Amino acid sequence: MFVVMRTGAGEAEVNGVKGMILAEGLTPFENAGRDRTVIAVVGDLGKRREQLRGRLEGLAGVAQVTPISKPYKLVSREFHPENTVIKVLDATIGDGGLSVMAGPCSVESRDQLIETVDHVAARGATIIRGGAFKPRTSPYSFQGLGVEGLRYLAEARQRTGLPVITEVMEPNQVDIVAEYADILQIGTRNMQNFSLLLACGRAGRPVMLKRGFGNTIEEWLMAAEYIASAGNSQIVMCERGIRTFDTSTRNTLDLTAVPLMHHLTHLPVIVDPSHATGKRWLVKPLAIGGAAVGADGIMVEVHPRPEEALSDAEQQLDFAGFDSMMAAVSAVHAHVRDLQGDLLPPAAAGSGKA
């Protein structure tokens, strides 16, 4: 249920609404939008729904009380019509620019990381990526450098001035990762690791949530709702391919998800063509495709010598490949940027009451 306040409603009126919601044992979430404030009522309303609705409508400053048509609430465009814009250090995600998250799949050594970040930072990457804790299908594969890797990432941030994103795999790791990294990444296999979602929601850092390779759009939004319900709506959604019957690429990159998500949610959406395709030479065309369908960013893997990589050797770009991709994707993004506002269906681009 959303309580839409009248234009010009003041703090006292908003607090009156919140007080009634809290008194019912429910949780109010407030979105102070450009034009008006909306308060989402979250919790198990059960049979009191209609009665509560009537009482809320009677409060001072309330324009209307409307049901929520979707199972996700805080991450929906209905609740929050404007795009969410996330700022980390000097980087901004979701403001119409194109974020480029680049770096090695795994942090393998200090030298490998520094060599890579120096290059990508010089060529326009806006955020540094690198895996310290690695989720591996086999218990016998390289599992990452752990905290040592986090320290190198912190050094990389220091050198480049760019924020760092890295994966966190379990609730117990959240504190240590949040100490070193600027953005917490939740991987595809953990998209429905609900304890991890909640722990990241409480960590006070932006979170990037990769789509599970076996998960629907709605489940992805519900996973983001877990994070938001824990008090954190600084969430970046990352499409990275889903499982299908076709085996010609590792997964099938679902670029339709980008405009669809922009319609359904206010959160920024980025695309990871490296993991989706698993093939180096497909990264560039699909990064361009991602920018063209309106993605807020691209995440790619870069390695000084991909053939020596300890993980995902087939899909990491070398430096020349990164440069070529950057040039192309930047040009396409600059070009389609003006078309983007137009990509939303009328209702979503409008008042958010869709």
Restricting to residues 259-278, which ones interact with a copy of itself according to CB under 8 A? 259-260, 263, 276-277
For a copy of itself, the closer of residues 59 and 328 by Cβ is 328
Minimum distance of a copy of itself from residue 41's CB (angstroms): 11
Minimum distance of a copy of itself from residue 348's CB (angstroms): 9
Distance (Å, rounded) from C-alpha 101 to C-alpha 210?
14
Restricted to residues 228-247, the positions that interact with a copy of itself (CB under 8 A) are 229, 242-247
Amino acid at residue number 104:
P
The 97-126 contact track toward a copy of itself, x by CB under 8 A, reads ------------------------------
Rounded to a whole number of angstroms, the distance between the first and last alpha carbons of the chain is: 14
Binding residue (CB under 8 A) for a copy of itself from 110, 189, 202, 337: 189
Q: What angle (nearest 5°) sits at the alpha carbon of residue 338, between those of residues 218 and 322?
A: 75
Q: Does residue 350 interact with a copy of itself by CB under 8 A?
A: no
Structure tokens at 307: 């053939």
Restricted to residues 2-41, the positions that interact with a copy of itself (CB under 8 A) are none
Distance (Å, rounded) from C-alpha 216 to C-alpha 159?
39
Binding residue (CB under 8 A) for a copy of itself from 169, 184, 235, 300: 169
Q: Does residue 215 interact with a copy of itself by CB under 8 A?
A: yes
> Hey, CA dihedral for 197, 201, 204, 209, is it positive or negative?
positive
**Do 99 and 93 touch, CB atoms closer than 8 A?**
yes
Interface region with a copy of itself, contact rule CB under 8 A, candidates 16-24, 88-96, 117-125, 193-201: 193-201
**Do 90 and 244 touch, CB atoms closer than 8 A?**
no
Beta bridge partner(s), residue 41 = 28
**Do 38 and 68 touch, CB atoms closer than 8 A?**
no
Q: Does residue 343 interact with a copy of itself by CB under 8 A?
A: yes
* 3-state secondary structure (DSSP) of residue 219: helix
Task: Give DSSP secondary structure letters for 265-289.
Answer: BSS-EEE-HHHHH--HHHHHHHHHH
Residue 240, number of CB atoms within 10 A of its CB: 23
Interface region with a copy of itself, contact rule CB under 8 A, candidates 58-66, 105-113, 158-166, 334-342: 334-342
The 125-144 contact track toward a copy of itself, x by CB under 8 A, reads ----------xxxxxx----
Q: Does residue 212 interact with a copy of itself by CB under 8 A?
A: yes
Q: Does residue 64 interact with a copy of itself by CB under 8 A?
A: no
Minimum distance of a copy of itself from residue 8's CB (angstroms): 31
Restricted to residues 287-326, the positions that interact with a copy of itself (CB under 8 A) are 288-289, 291-294, 324
